Amino acid sequence: MIFLKKILLLDYEPCVVALVRQAFEATGGYEIKEETSRSRSLHTARWFQPDLILSDLSSTPSHTDELTRQLEADPALRDTPMLFLRVESAAAGGVISAGVLSGYSFLAHPIRLEDLVHYVADLLHLDPVRQASDALAG
C-alpha cells in the first residue's frame, strides 16, 4: 500500500494552484489540498494534517506571521514543515534563491515546477524517481 504525502497549498491564485497541483499529482506520490481563504487556513491545516505546508510569501507579512505563530502553537502542527514561495510576475525581476529564513524553508521566483517538486522531495526526504515508479507499480 502506498501512502501519499499530503501537501496543503495556502494563499495561491487559482492558476498557480492548478500548476502546482498538477506538478505534484503527476508524480503519483502526493495528495494536494488547497485553501485560498486566509481565515480558514489554520482550520484546514488541522483537519488535513499535511506533511508539508506550501504558502505564498507574497501574501501580507502580518498574515504570514500570524499563521506561523498559530501553527507553532498547535501541538499537532508545530512540527509540520513549511515552505514559503514567492510568486510574483517575472517583471518583478526575480532571482533564483532558496534557503532557510527564521527556521523556515523558502524558494524565490522564478523556479521551474520540476525543481519545486525535487526540492519538496528533498525536504520530505523522498526519492521522487522511486516514488513515481512505486506509484505506477502499486
Per-residue pLDDT at 75 exceeds 90: yes
**Looking at per-residue confidence, does 59 or 124 come out higher?**
124
- pLDDT tier for residue 12 given thresholds of 50, 70 and 90: low
**Where residue 26 falls among pLDDT bands split at 50, 70, 90?**
very high
Closest CA to 5 of 130, 126, 129: 126
3-state secondary structure labels for all residues of 15-65: HHHHHHHHHHHCCCCEEEEEECCHHHHHHHHHHHCCCEEEEECCCCHHHHH
Q: pLDDT confidence of 58, banded at 50, 70, 90?
A: low
Give yes or no for a contact between 44 and 67, defined as CB atoms under 8 angstroms apart.
no
- pLDDT for the residue numbered 60: 62
Nearest partner of 80 among 105, 56, 63, 108, judged by Cα: 105
- 90 and 119 Cβ atoms separated by less than 8 Å: no
Confidence of residue 61 (pLDDT cuts 50, 70, 90): low
Contacts of residue 30, defined as CB under 8 A and 6 or more positions apart, other chains included, come to: 4, 5, 6, 7, 24
Task: Find, among 34, 27, 28, the residue nearest to 12 by Cα.
Answer: 34
pLDDT score of 77 more than 80: yes
What are the cell numbers at 31? 495528495
